[in-house]
Amino acid sequence: MEADRVVVSVPTASPPPSPDLLSRTLSPTRAKLIKRRNLDESALAWKLLLPATAEVLITEFLPHIKSEAGIDVASTTANILGGYLEGLLYGIERQSARHETQQLCTMIRCYFLNVFTSFPFVATHAAEMAVLNGPGMALGYIITSLALAVAAFEAGRRPTETFLAEARFQPMHWTNTMGSNANRQRILMGLFIIVLLGLLKGRYVLASSVVFGGDAQPDMAHTFAMLVGIILAISGAALGGLIQSCMRANFTSCLFVGLAFGARRVLAWDRVATTLWTIAFSKFVGSFCGAFSGFAKMLSDAGKLMHDELKPRDAFLEIFGNIGIAVMWAGIFYAFDRQGLDVYSHAGGFHMISFSDTDTSPQ
């Protein structure tokens, strides 16, 4: 007689539950908390790499171009381009059905675009326009640059929302999967590579070797200035994010610029313009104050008031209030600090000034 067979089952480790399985097996609130915790684990990396990438892009890879009238075309274009990208991400964030994608868009808008754009630049550059071409040119520059930024925001938002109106209901559409863990890791790696390339480009200035046939020498001052700019940009973005009111952040950033101008006079920076002073001053005004302000956030706040809360009057007040702040501070800079405003224009890459044009000898 054949012996009875005994079947022994050996327990095996089960794979980790997928996000969809979490949603089915746990309560919706608990599943949402687990997803949010997984996203927040890499929040520090985003808050470091996004401002650093923006600083490297505008310092190393944005060509410095000025028009015959003295308008900083590169920096103005950065603000307008930032407005377009703000509208694009704002539209994706509104239309996406996934919390992961919405949080990713919010992180990029807060920690990248607010560093890539600069509200104090509008006021300081308008003051420079007033010195070169008169107050009328300065007022026209402020109104035109902000109007173009608003138009760029709408050009990015409106087509995006129209195109994605139906795609939000497709689970595998790219707007719903761009915030997945794998895609976030790829984006972080790309940001790290951009920062590394920027540091290498700043470490070895190859333009003289290519154009003039000379030997490329390490530029320690340039590399040090970039590192200082990255640290100040990260600090400015973090501190500026604590202020909820965009108008208050923009006003405060211009106040910091004014205090820096006052410190320059008190400390006689004009008479002892060492390289260290030059780096500290230009990077504080450009990197820290620019990241502290909320030029891009101003556009999305106005868009939220206009399209989400249906308060067009408040949206117009948001835009015109910031125009008033820029006009007021441009007038203050023009009245009290006419000398040396060309030094504060972001020559050599938006947040960098040209060391070769600075007299470093005591007078």
| Local structure of residue 66 (DSSP, 8 states) | B
What are the Cα distances from residue 342, in Å, to 45, 145, 270, 347? 36, 19, 13, 9
Alpha carbon distance 100, 176 (integer Å): 8
Using the predicted structure, report yes or no on whether residue 298 has a pLDDT greater than 90: yes
* 17 has pLDDT over 50: no
pLDDT tens across 212-247, in order?
444 444 456 777 888 889 999 999 999 998 988 899
What pLDDT is recorded for position 318?
Answer: 93
Residue 186, number of CB atoms within 10 A of its CB: 11
Provide the 8-state DSSP code for 173: S
Model confidence pTM above 0.75? yes
* First-residue to last-residue Cα distance in the chain: 113
Dmax over CA atoms of the chain, in Å, equals 113
**Does residue 196 have a pLDDT over 80?**
yes
Q: How many CB atoms lie within 10 A of CB 329?
A: 24
C-alpha radius of gyration, the chain, whole number: 25
State yes or no: pLDDT of 175 exceeds 80: no
Does position 198 have pLDDT exceeding 70, yes or no? yes
Between 296 and 28, the more confident residue is 296
Please say whether the beta carbons of 118 and 75 come within 8 A.
yes
Token pair in block for residue 25? 């097996």
| All residues at 6 or more sequence positions from 92 whose CB lies less than 8 Å from its CB, including other chains | 101, 105, 160, 164, 175, 178
Compute the distance between CA of residue 192 and CA of residue 212 in angstroms, rounded to an integer. 31
Residue 358 has pLDDT above 60, yes or no: no
pLDDT value, residue 170: 59
Cβ proximity of 22 and 34 under 8 Å: yes
Report how far residue 232's alpha carbon sits from residue 334's, in angstroms, rounded to the nearest whole number. 26
The backbone torsions φ and ψ at residue 103, rounded to the nearest 5 degrees and listed phi first, read -70, -35
Determine contact, residues 336/266, Cβ cutoff 8 Å. no
Residue 209, pLDDT above cutoff 50: no
